[in-house]
Amino acid sequence: MNETEPFSFTSMQEVAPVAIPERQFIQSHDGIRLAYYPFLSETNTQTNVIIIHGGGAHSLAGYEHIAYTLQHDFHVNVFLLDLRGHGHSGGKKGDTPKVTDVWQDISQVVDVIKQQHEGALYLCGHSSGAGLLLQYLSWGEKRKVDGYFFIAPEFGYKSDTAKSNQVPFATVQVWKFVLSAMTKGRLMGHSEAVRFHYPAWVIAQDPLLLTGITI
């Protein structure tokens, strides 16, 4: 691993590809089409997991390997969701009209999965996707699920969850978040406030990756 990188992009590129299921779509409350990939176990299972990627990423930016392993080695149904404004989902890139729209998207997906598949349902978030799920967990209109998993969670600069020697993957303009919070989102809400430090060669190989997202 390169000590100047938060994790090894080279190692991720060297992993053997896995079979990707056909992309599916769910229509959200405002008509936005949400893309997802159903990695369905070939054996009868009573466990379902929806994985939420990190900000700027998308479902097939490495998450397919987690899904494939859970599907084949642990007989779990796994659903990789592209958040709105990411990957193949609709919406303005790296942005959302309101924060609650993203929460409603998650609820919409939970409803569909529950209708189509029996058994326990878990939500799993990586990086800022984990932060998103923590916010969703505090929302009064959230759907009931059987549990939450957080992978390398990004819970914000006040959470004290980052390692002291961690190589920063993103630059955050905290003042924009403060101003937005003070004005209840009227100011800076749709201004780019987080920039991701993907190497240029990674962006060239995966044009779906976003270099920045808004508050």
pTM: 0.90
pLDDT of 156 reads: 65
Segment 199-215, tens digit of pLDDT: 888 899 999 999 999 98
Question: What pLDDT score does 93 carry?
Answer: 96
pLDDT (tens digit per residue) in 157-168: 666 666 666 667
Residue that wins the pLDDT comparison between 24 and 170:
24
Report the alpha-carbon distance of residue 67 to residue 82 in Å, rounded.
Answer: 14
Q: Can you count the helices (H) and strands (E) in the chain? A: 6, 9
Structural domain count of the chain: 1
Is the pLDDT at 1 greater than 50? The verdict is no
Distance, CA of 82 to CA of 184 (rounded, Å): 27
User: Is there a domain that residue 192 lies in?
Assistant: no
Give me the sheet containing 120-126, strands edge to edge: 24-27, 33-39, 77-81, 47-52, 120-126, 147-151
Look at the chain and count its residues.
215
More confident residue, 202 or 144: 144
> Is 165 a domain residue?
no
pLDDT above 80 (res 192): yes
Q: How far apart are CA 14 and CA 5, in angstroms?
A: 16
In a domain, 185, yes or no: no
Look up the CATH number of the domain holding residue 46.
Answer: 3.40.50.1820
Give strand ranges (E) for the chain: 24-27, 33-39, 47-52, 77-81, 120-126, 147-151, 170-172, 192-196, 212-214
Residue 15 pLDDT greater than 90, yes or no: no
Q: What percentage of the chain has pLDDT greater than the value 70? A: 87
Domain boundaries, position 26: 9-155
Residue 170 lies in a domain: no
What's residue 97's pLDDT? 93
From residue 80, alpha-carbon distances to 14, 23, 165, 186, 205 in Å are: 21, 10, 30, 32, 20
Residue 26 token pair: 């769910």
pLDDT in tens, 48-105: 999 999 989 999 999 999 999 999 999 999 999 999 999 999 999 999 999 899 999 9
Inside any domain, residue 215: no
